[in-house]
Chain A
């Protein structure tokens, strides 16, 4: 079955870069996502990447995909205190299939 793994915690200093890593097991995964969840709130789609892409950059966010190793990372440049949240990696086999989420990485930003 599909499985998505993430480290549970990450702590960085304000202004530094954060790198959140994710691995997935299903090589058929076509769509890979990063979601942000602030305390007591729902999920906000941050960015996404298709499996035929290696990298995607969107302002402070850079997503890197190593399809061979089934490894996905999210880099947040110039991390701010407002970036403190839980970040979920998710994958789906197609646009019509439900998302499979990792357990989430809690990012703490130290001022």
Chain B
């Protein structure tokens, strides 16, 4: 099967600090990775789409300078929440698309970010 990992699974940080979340495809190469944000009892909201070697495409309303995405290799994408504030506290989930087929998108286990 295809496995996507995220690290860390949980992080607590102080307001004003930056936090980096890693998303890795462990046994396949991911040309495209997606970053989602999930609020309690809410749906997953797509934040951005990242393609290896190019700039991420952000959804409307998502601040590019706040949520930095880097997809430097075919197995790793990172999301950095810069100058985090309590309102950034959320569950962040990544997914990785293996190929062009519709169903080859695999989700990571998520990262719970709490900003104090």
Q: Interface of A with B (CB < 8 Å)?
A: 4, 8, 30-31, 33, 35, 40-45, 48, 88, 92, 94-96, 98-104
Does B101 contact A101, Cβ atoms closer than 8 Å? no
Interface string of B99-110 (1 = CB under 8 A from A): 011110111111
Closest to B112 in A: A40
Does A44 contact B107, Cβ atoms closer than 8 Å? yes
Does A42 contact B107, Cβ atoms closer than 8 Å? yes
Q: Please count how many residues in chain B sit with their CB below 8 Å of the partner chain's CB atoms.
A: 22
With contact pairs A95-B100, A95-B102, A98-B49 given, residues A42 and B93 touching in the complex (Cβ less than 8 Å): yes
With contact pairs A40-B112, A42-B93, A43-B93 given, residues A48 and B103 touching in the complex (Cβ less than 8 Å): yes
Does B110 contact A98, Cβ atoms closer than 8 Å? no
Instruction: Tell me the bound Cα distance from A41 to B4 in angstroms.
Output: 12
Q: Interface of B with A (CB < 8 Å)?
A: 4, 6, 34, 41-44, 46, 49, 93, 95, 100-103, 105-110, 112
Does A98 contact B41, Cβ atoms closer than 8 Å? no
Expressed in whole angstroms, the minimum distance between the Cβ of B108 and any Cβ of chain A is 5
Instruction: Tell me the bound Cα distance from A60 to B76 in angstroms.
Output: 35
Does B110 contact A42, Cβ atoms closer than 8 Å? yes
Q: Which of B34, B43, B100, B112 contacts A88, CB < 8 Å?
A: B43
Instruction: Tell me the bound Cα distance from A96 to B57 in angstroms.
Output: 14
